[in-house]
C-alpha cells in the first residue's frame, strides 16, 4: 500500500519542474527536432500532497504491483526479476544515444511537480516511486535542453525498440533494460498511473520535454516517455 500512496491525490496539472528552458539560440538539430515531435509525454508527476513520500519497501512494491499491469503480452513475473527489491540508481547509461549520466535522487517540488536536476548533464530518479529493477514503473527524468545548449536527454527521441538502457546502483549492481516503445502526451494531460503506477513487471520510464517551447507557459508543450523493460 505504501507504494501507491504517492499517487493519491493527483494534481490536475502536473509538470516536470524546469524540464527544459528552451534554447536561446537553437542548434540546427534542435530547431529541426522540436517541432517535429508529435506530442511528447510531458511527464505529469504524481503528487502526494506536496510532501515527498518515503521510498517504497521492496515487499510493498511487489505486493502493490502484483497483478495490476493490464498490458498482457510478454509479462515477466515479479518472482523472475533478477533484482526483486530494485536498486538505488547511481548511473544511467544509454549506449545508442551516447548517454552516461549521474543519477540524482529527487522528489516533489512544493508545487507537487516532479523535481529535476538543476543542470543539463545529470538525470533524476523519482525517489518516492519505484526503484529500477523492482516490479512497477520506475521513473528517471532529464532535461532536453538548457538556455544555451542541448542537454542529457536531447536524443531520447531517437531511441528505438530493443535499445539497451543500463542502470548502475550505489552498491555496484548493474541491471539492463530494453526499450519497448515510446509515447508523447500534452504537458498537462498524462496518464499518471501508466507512467508512475504499479506493474507486475519491472519497467523503467525515461521522461523529458519535447515539442515547441512556450515562453508564456515557461515549458515545452509535450512530454516524451520512453518505456523499457528489465531483461537482465
Q: Which residues are catalytic?
A: 143, 209
Is 109 in contact with 115 (CB distance < 8 Å)?
yes
Q: Give, in degrees to the nearest 5, the angle at Cα 123 between 13 and 97.
A: 110
Query: What is the CA 18 to chain-centroid distance, rounded?
Result: 14
DSSP code string of 161-214 = TT-EEEEEETTS-EEEEEEEEEEEEETT---HHHHHS--SSEEEEEEEEEEEEE
Q: Cβ–Cβ contacts within 10 Å for residue 28, how many?
A: 7
DSSP state of 86: -
User: Which residues pair with residue 104 across a beta bridge?
Assistant: 124
Q: Cβ–Cβ contacts within 10 Å for residue 198, how many?
A: 24
d(CA 161, CA 75): 16
Amino acid at each position: 500500500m505504501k507504494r501507491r500512496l504517492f499517487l493519491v491525490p493527483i494534481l490536475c496539472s502536473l509538470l516536470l519542474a524546469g524540464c527544459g528552458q528552451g534554447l536561446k539560440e537553437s542548434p540546427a538539430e534542435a530547431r529541426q527536432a522540436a517541432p517535429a515531435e508529435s506530442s511528447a509525454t510531458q511527464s505529469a508527476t504524481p503528487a502526494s500532497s506536496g510532501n515527498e513520500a518515503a521510498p517504497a519497501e521492496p515487499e510493498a512494491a511487489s505486493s502493490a504491483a502484483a497483478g495490476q499491469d493490464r498490458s498482457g503480452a510478454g509479462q515477466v513475473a515479479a518472482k523472475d526479476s533478477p533484482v526483486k527489491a530494485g536498486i538505488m540508481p547511481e548511473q544511467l547509461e544509454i549506449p545508442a544515444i551516447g548517454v552516461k549520466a549521474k543519477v540524482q535522487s529527487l522528489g516533489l517540488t512544493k508545487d507537487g511537480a516532479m523535481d529535476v536536476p538543476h543542470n543539463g548533464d545529470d538525470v533524476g530518479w523519482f525517489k518516492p516511486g519505484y526503484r529500477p529493477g523492482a516490479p512497477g514503473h520506475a521513473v528517471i527524468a532529464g532535461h532536453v535542453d538548457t538556455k544555451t545548449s542541448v542537454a542529457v536527454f536531447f536524443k531520447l527521441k531517437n531511441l528505438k525498440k530493443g535499445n539497451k538502457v543500463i542502470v548502475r546502483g550505489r552498491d555496484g549492481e548493474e541491471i539492463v533494460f530494453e526499450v519497448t516503445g515510446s509515447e508523447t502526451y500534452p504537458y498537462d494531460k498524462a496518464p499518471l498511473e501508466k507512467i508512475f503506477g504499479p506493474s507486475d513487471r519491472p519497467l523503467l520510464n525515461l521522461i523529458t520535454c519535447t515539442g515547441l517551447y512556450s515562453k508564456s507557459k515557461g515549458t515545452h508543450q509535450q512530454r516524451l516517455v520512453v518505456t523499457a523493460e528489465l531483461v537482465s
